[in-house]
Amino acid sequence: MPWRTPSPAAEEPRPAKPPRRGGFFSLLLKSLIGLLASIGFLVAAAVVLIVVAVQRYDGRDEAAELPERFVVTFDLANGLSERQPDNPLQQIAAPALSVAELHRSLNDAAADPRVSCLAVRAGIGELSLAQAQEISGAIARFRDSGKFSLAFAATFGEGGTGLSHYLVASNLEEVWLQPSGGLDIRGFSIEQPFLREALDDLGIEPQFLQREEFKSAADIFQHRRMIEPVRRNLEALVNSWLAQATEDMAARRGLETAAVDTLISRVSVPATEARDEGLVDRLGYIDEAEARVEAQCGDEVESVPLERYARVTSNGLPEDAPVVALVHGLGPIVLGGPDEDFGRQLMQSDQVASAIEMAAKDDNVKAIVFRVDSPGGSYVASDLIWREIKQARENGKPVVVSMAEVAASGGYFVAAPADRIVALPATVTGSIGVITGKFDTSGLWQELGVDWDGVKAGENADLWSFNQPFSDQQLSDLQQDIERIYGDFLGKVADGRGLAVEEVRQVAGGRIWSGADASVRGLVDALGGFDVALANARDLMGVEADAPLRVVLFPEQRDPFTALLEDAFGSRWGPGLASTEAARKLSVLVEALAPVIQAAERLTADPRENVLRVPGF
């Protein structure tokens, strides 16, 4: 059966916790014994996990024998990663398929005579519009091969919108829907909390300066509702997303856009009506869809998950294929620090700049693809990465930026000097603007009856203290500082994009754009996913449009044991388990409180870390 691969994790029994009985000292003794036993258990479990994880890692490149003829299956619930983590323990929880592997493996499957069909299970799992467009581009090329393809969903959007899942499914030859299911394709919305009244009640005064009116990273602290310029900007973004989805659905299903608009305005569309309106081809349960696949692709045909097919075929490229370096810039941009923080991916400037520099100096590398998925962050860190991209280009190494879900503010800053910028139509990009400021908590301390006192050497040594407001002179100086940074941002975008500064200013001001709208305004060169970025790299290298490429990760993936040891005990450049930060990361309590911690970080972090930052994405 194509989709019915049992999950090993789901089969593992979970031990029940024994009840606690007895008096205080008995409870204390049992707790101590339990603590020691738990530590022993955790150590033993860690050893087992390491063995299992490393075995999994070691088996990634084994050329396991594939059937003579088979169906490739892809379950969207398994998710998609930008880059596989090095640490095999992290790989256990991470999606097993990366964006680069998705495109390569489906391209291989289209030409592989052993692959008869493609079966996709949709409807379950988080999937953004940008991810749906990325996956759709890869599937469309498979369908061009003429091989049969089918998508099945029990429902599109139970408990939420199924629009992104449906967009992926509509790329396949047949779309099946369970009779009891339906389509929730209601569009897109963005909501934000506004905390100004709560901060006022606490005696906390937000003091932020920005360039310009659309730079809304601090609006949730400064206002009680969405201000009009930001409302217009976000309305333009969601309207662009909806227009893209509507046009895609209409084109793929041969419908009029007006008819699709009417269906989107519904709360939901029942299965029978979805079939009658031409949104799905057949109604049936999963076993009936599987029977259809077998009828089209061969009786008792075997199934191979796309993740496995990607691993087995990963070494199939000719050795003389041109090498393209793939560098990832993922998460908020930080100056130094770890590349993860409480489970969040961070774009560490030294690490990313070093990877770009290594790729630029490697004679075997003919081009660099810089994959960016970042809401921005530190101006100084962004500038360091910007310089390495610019130097690589000036030294004759073509650089193509491939934008994922978001590449805005600092995420756009680092992309600006590339030879080509490729964005998905739904990518959130732009946000060419600057923000800085802090919270004045002196009113809160006064309400609590807490007095602060201290000394300083230097007129502005306490500039970023939360215990007092900015002075008028400090506000004036900070305004000049963000004007300087904003001017630098505008100038670097203008230089990289071949535009006049005034032209950039017209699309700047902190506005965010969809990739489609950014393309019209000269901020993006081409629309598409990772495959389109590779096509642009081929063009810049001067090779044939269908020439095979060898995509190599920079930095290369670490040996699994090396990754485990470095992440646990620290490498040459960073602390390990002995550090307070690493210890906190291992704490279950901190992990559970991660959302609260992240919110607190925004209130207490060094404001310079978010000078080039777009909120909410």
- Residue 246 within any structural domain of the chain: no
In the prediction, which pLDDT does 59 show?
45
Q: pLDDT class for 299, splitting at 50, 70, 90?
A: confident
Same domain flag for 47 and 173:
no
Q: pLDDT class for 300, splitting at 50, 70, 90?
A: confident
Pick the range with the lowest mean pLDDT from 61-70, 181-190, 392-401, 497-506. Answer: 61-70
pTM of the predicted structure, to 2 decimals: 0.83
Same domain flag for 48 and 169:
no
pLDDT at 177 over 70: yes
Q: Mind listing the pLDDT tens digit for each residue in 440-453?
A: 999 999 889 999 99
Is 209 strand, coil or helix?
A: strand
Q: How far is Cα 252 from Cα 275, in angstroms, rounded to an integer? A: 15
Closest by CA to 89, choosing from 59, 60, 54, 58, is 54
- Residue 63 within any structural domain of the chain: no
**Six token digits for residue 588:** 């279950």
Q: How far is Cα 355 from Cα 346, in angstroms, rounded to an integer? A: 15
Mean pLDDT computed over every residue of the chain? 83
Same domain flag for 584 and 510:
yes
The secondary structure of 227-276 as a DSSP string is -HHHHHHHHHHHHHHHHHHHHHHHHHHT--HHHHHHHHTSS-EEHHHHHH
Show which of 284, 312, 340 is a domain's final residue: 312
Cα three-residue angle 291-296-302, rounded to 5 degrees: 65
Q: What is the mean pLDDT of residues 284-305?
A: 91
pLDDT at 13 over 50: no
- What CATH number should be reported for the domain holding residue 340? 3.90.226.10
Same domain flag for 278 and 349:
no
- Residue 204 within any structural domain of the chain: no
Beta strand pairing call for 302-305 and 340-341? unpaired
Same domain flag for 394 and 488:
yes
Residue 263 sits at φ, ψ, to 5 deg, of -70, -35
By percentage, how much of the chain surpasses pLDDT 70? 77
Structural domain range at position 80: 70-186+266-312
Same domain flag for 431 and 524:
yes
Q: Mind listing the pLDDT tens digit for each residue in 243-294?
A: 999 999 999 999 999 999 998 888 889 999 999 999 999 999 999 999 999 9
**Helices assigned H by DSSP within 426-571:** 442-448, 472-497, 501-507, 515-520, 530-541, 560-569
Which range is most confident: 61-75, 213-227, 355-369, 558-572? 355-369
Q: Mind listing the pLDDT tens digit for each residue in 135-163?
A: 999 999 999 999 999 999 999 988 667 99
Same domain flag for 444 and 509:
yes
Q: Which distant-in-sequence residues (6+ apart) come within 8 Å of 68 by Cβ?
A: 114
pLDDT at 25 over 90: no
Answer whether 536's CB lies under 8 Å from 420's CB.
yes
Q: Which distant-in-sequence residues (6+ apart) come within 8 Å of 166 by Cβ?
A: 122, 153, 156, 157, 183, 185, 249, 279
- Residue 28 within any structural domain of the chain: yes
CA distance to 121, 157, 174, 275, per residue, from 279 (Å): 16, 14, 10, 6
Q: Mind listing the pLDDT tens digit for each residue in 539-555?
A: 999 999 989 999 999 98
- The interaxial angle of helices 530-541 and 129-143, nearest 10 deg, is 70
- Residue 488 within any structural domain of the chain: yes
The secondary structure of 556-583 as a DSSP string is PPPPHHHHHHHHHH--TTS--TTSHHHH
Same domain flag for 339 and 469:
yes
- Residue 198 within any structural domain of the chain: no
**Six token digits for residue 165:** 């899942």
pLDDT at 102 over 80: yes
**Tokens 């299970």 found at:** 121
In the prediction, which pLDDT does 590 show?
44
Same domain flag for 180 and 31:
no
In the prediction, which pLDDT does 9 show?
41
Q: How far is Cα 610 from Cα 332, in angstroms, rounded to an integer? A: 9
Same domain flag for 411 and 524:
yes
Q: How far is Cα 71 from Cα 73, in angstroms, rounded to an integer? A: 6
pLDDT at 43 over 60: no
- Residue 504 within any structural domain of the chain: yes
Q: pLDDT class for 89, splitting at 50, 70, 90?
A: low
Same domain flag for 489 and 558:
yes
Q: Mind listing the pLDDT tens digit for each residue in 59-68?
A: 444 445 889 8
Same domain flag for 126 and 47:
no
Q: How far is Cα 606 from Cα 114, in angstroms, rounded to an integer? A: 56
Is 122 strand, coil or helix?
A: strand
Show which of 58, 83, 101 is a domain's final residue: 58
Domain tally, the chain: 3
- Residue 442 within any structural domain of the chain: yes
